[in-house]
Structure 1
């Protein structure tokens, strides 16, 4: 029963991001369908079926990541306040003001670092990638980034992948008696961040060819963010990583609106 409660809590959170991603992908799918000939279009399933199929893969990955995290996270000292409160019945959700300040502070610092690095690398990037950054800020896409990126991706990458990496390294290297050594946590944070960066390459490839600079940019920017979120997961909780990730997208959206209006 406890496993089902943990799974249900995280699945509801994660599926919200997948649902938003599916909603925002509808115009793109319609554009692709519009390019098909009437003969080929007649063989294509209805739009709602295509959207459901598109959301199937991330839903399966979400479920697997949740189960992995349930099996590994608490064994290596990683935690979720929601699970603490709703499943383990702690007296209250221990999401302190200090933790919130760290989450938002790390999110703000990460946003500034990413914007500065992106601006520094911008002149050497392909024109198509530069042009994609000049699009008008869109609240729906930003909300999707906050929900899918800030919540679903954190369940996938931190709760699932990072917890697994820490647990595996702990069992193999046998460093730490009651908990893994700091080096194991740090290595898992970096490795999960690297995977996080690599997984963003397909989205970049849809815009421009993957040159060495484009690959380095995607891995560097997303990797820096992944390290920040991983550190918060290690030091505080899954919710701290989520809040920081959400804040990065929120701060970026706010800055984009300001730049669009005043620059």
Structure 2
């Protein structure tokens, strides 16, 4: 079996687990909305899982195919599948991946704090249970680290780089740095926009609240995109997971204390 197909199977299985792991978190945030479903909850959840499997399967296939053309990829998983030594590379990226992930989480908290000075906050009275318990946050972090990185970086950022690559490339046939940064920023902005459905599900947002949601997530998306470019998708995954641990596990525990 070719490396690309083995990667596809591994990533799709990981995505399925990510979708399942995020369900408790989602049910806590959107519990009241789900009470008025036209079908039983288990039917709705099963349909969501199947729909997600199809979405991520398509995203993985396209992402892996295009990544090879523009010099992006998953060096650790690819090396492991091909029988190469990858422990040393994993060790070399672990510190910067976790460190930048923690930094991303801190930046999001700091920016959210700054926005609060302008009165841009979520109305807790409107949302009810705003912060799911830490164990749900821990499980949902796998979705962020795996599923969101596959969708936003492996698929979307890679697709953007490939499009720009077709328009302009360096003399040695590689994407230009400017195009890489443009793809990173665009994917990050879309990453921020992708958080709006959750916001809409828990409150009625103002224009400034929408801007706040996009901006704070865009900052993190730029960090994850740079890691994907320079270190590989695994590095972006580790970083995103670390950021979510800060936001969805450590922060709720501190707030409770």
What TM-score does the superposition give when structure 2 sets the normalisation length?
0.88
> Cα deviation per residue 1:125-184 (whole Å; 9 max; x = unaligned)?
255158869955612321232111111100111111111111111012234533211111
Contact between 2:115 and 2:121, CA under 8 Å: does it hold in 1? no
Q: Which residue of 1 aligns with 2:219?
A: 224
Q: Which residue of 1 aligns with 2:41?
A: 47
1:30 Cα offset (Å): 6.6
Structure 1 regions of 5+ residues with no counterpart?
37-43
Q: Is residue 128 of structure 1 aligned with residue 123 of structure 2?
A: yes
Q: Which residue of 1 aligns with 2:61?
A: 67
Q: Which residue of 2 aligns with 1:20?
A: 21
> Cα deviation per residue 1:93-113 (whole Å; 9 max; x = unaligned)?
453433111111111211111
Q: Which residue of 1 aligns with 2:184?
A: 189
Question: Alignment length, in residue pairs?
Answer: 254
Determine helix, strand or coil for the equivalent of 2:187. Answer: helix
Q: Which residue of 1 aligns with 2:146?
A: 151
Residues 131 and 121 (structure 1 numbering): CA distance in 2 closer, same or farther, change over 3 Å?
farther
CA distance in 1, matches of 2:70, 2:34: 47
Determine helix, strand or coil for the equivalent of 1:179. Answer: coil
Larger radius of gyration: 1
Q: Is residue 79 of structure 1 aligned with residue 73 of structure 2?
A: yes
Q: Which residue of 1 aligns with 2:243?
A: 248
Contact between 2:142 and 2:241, CA under 8 Å: does it hold in 1? yes
Structure 2 regions of 5+ residues with no counterpart?
none
Residues 101 and 117 (structure 1 numbering): CA distance in 2 closer, same or farther, change over 3 Å?
same
CA distance in 2, matches of 1:34, 1:133: 15
Pairwise CA RMSD: 2.5
Q: Is residue 173 of structure 1 aligned with residue 174 of structure 2?
A: no
Q: Is residue 260 of structure 1 aligned with residue 256 of structure 2?
A: yes
Residues 176 and 208 (structure 1 numbering): CA distance in 2 closer, same or farther, change over 3 Å?
farther
Residues 107 and 135 (structure 1 numbering): CA distance in 2 closer, same or farther, change over 3 Å?
same
1:238 Cα offset (Å): 0.7
Q: Which residue of 2 aligns with 1:101?
A: 95
1:9 Cα offset (Å): 1.1
Contact between 2:165 and 2:179, CA under 8 Å: does it hold in 1? yes
Contact between 1:129 and 1:207, CA under 8 Å: does it hold in 2? no
Determine helix, strand or coil for the equivalent of 1:95. Answer: helix
CA distance in 1, matches of 2:223, 2:174: 21
Q: Which residue of 2 aligns with 1:5?
A: 6
What TM-score does the superposition give when structure 1 sets the normalisation length?
0.86
CA distance in 1, matches of 2:224, 2:125: 26
Q: Which residue of 2 aligns with 1:91?
A: 85
Q: Is residue 236 of structure 1 aligned with residue 225 of structure 2?
A: no
Q: Which residue of 2 aligns with 1:41?
A: none
